[in-house]
Homo-oligomer: A and B are copies of this chain.
């Protein structure tokens, strides 16, 4: 088995999702995930710190979906418009991941420790978006609060996207929720 076997990470994620659904999250071991993916446990731990992390991807790559879009927004865009661009960009990232996202959500909803980790992911995304806004010269508290409005919108849109018979683009949904947030704040 090659040390840098291509696709090992993706196979581990898929194998973990299958096993968590079949046996439950608690009952599944790292060894079983590695075996199902056709790699060694050592390979698992080259990609993920522990069993939980297999469901949370690469935080840098995830946050960059949003922060790259903010950096790319026109310099005269308002902070909230830059955040709207970030929400729209999330659609492309999640396209093709709808089925996996629903399976993953069912697993997370059944496990408090995973819900805690999910909340931290949200906090880190908020902080990354706030930093991206600050890098454009947006000052606090506007940078932080605009970032919070963005992650509230994204996570509400995500909840709808994974819960119901919702096939629309996640980015479109999130931009729509941002509009609802603005109406709620008016």
* A→B interface (CB under 8 Å): 79-80, 112, 115-117, 119-120, 122-123, 141-142, 144-146, 148-149, 152, 156, 177, 180-186
Contact = CB atoms under 8 A, between A and B. Distances in A.
A152 B146 CA distance: 11
Contacts of A145: 152, 156, 177, 180-181, 184
A186 B185 contact: yes
Given A80-B185, A142-B183, A148-B181, 15 more contacts: A79-B184, A80-B184, A115-B120, A115-B123, A119-B123, A141-B156, A141-B184, A142-B180, A146-B184, A148-B152, A148-B156, A149-B152, A149-B184, A149-B185, A181-B185
Nearest to A160: B141
Nearest to A142: B184
Nearest to A143: B184
Contacts of A148: 152, 156, 181
16 contacts: A80-B185, A115-B120, A115-B123, A116-B119, A116-B120, A119-B120, A141-B156, A142-B183, A142-B184, A145-B180, A146-B184, A148-B156, A149-B181, A149-B185, A185-B186, A186-B186
Contacts of A180: 141-142, 145
B119 A144 contact: no
Contacts of A120: 112, 115-116, 119
Contacts of A122: 119
A80 B183 CA distance: 11
Contacts of A156: 141, 144-145, 148
Nearest to A152: B148
Nearest to A182: B185
